[in-house]
Structure 1
Amino acid sequence: MLFHAQTTACISRTKNLIQVGLIYRGPFDSRPHDTVGIGASKLQVSDRYTRNTQMLNAANGVTALDDPLYVPEQRREYSYEINYGVQATKWLMVRPNLQYVKYPGGLTQTTGAVVGGVQFIADF
């Protein structure tokens, strides 16, 4: 009986992620449980991962982002957020936010994106 052992290397896509944020509670005397928050983050993609995508694209002979065989070369992403948390009830906070993302998905070939969202936080 013959056994074949195969080893695979795991390459993390993320080299590092740095996040900072501040939350201020009670921005108005009439709304002591509301919050105002700001935050920023930077995500750096692993150099080895980016190099692997470059080698794959070269092996496939593709260079354009619009080619179906092209694997996007991710590098870095920056994001910035501002939010306001409304303490709607004793147990429910509603937190709308606005974000700006530079290089969405780590793709430096793309432009920035403005994203709006809302978060519901239930605390029972």
Structure 2
Amino acid sequence: PLVFGTIYGEDTHDIWLKTLMDYGWLGFVSFLTLTLWTIGTGFRILLRDRPWQPYLLCAFVAYLGNIGLGTFIDIDHWRHLYLLLGLIWGAIVLEYRHQRDLRLGAPPSSRTNRHEAVAPGR
């Protein structure tokens, strides 16, 4: 790990080669799984009319752009990539929570009612 540049005189130049050569098979499979799972799950909920949909749309498009750029340059230390991952997975969790509330018959406003009970002056 991390000796590809020392052995070959050049560093790995894209995210796929870097995860395979520097992080090994486990790192490559993990990154590929995370990427495909994020794109697949995010795309499935992307066009649903929810309050968090604009944030998901912006984060998803930016994430796709970063992954596309990662095909040509190394992006694994870009902090905003992980921020985008967090935003997308946060929207995924919100969608699953919303679906669970619909299945259980709880109104979507039940969460706000709990907060109003704690702070009735708002």
TM > 0.5 between the two? Answer: no
**Structure whose residues are more often strand by fraction:** 1
TM-score (norm 2): 0.23
**Structure whose residues are more often helix by fraction:** 2
TM-score (norm 1): 0.23
Q: Kindly name which structure, 1 or 2, has the bigger radius of gyration based on alpha carbons.
A: 1
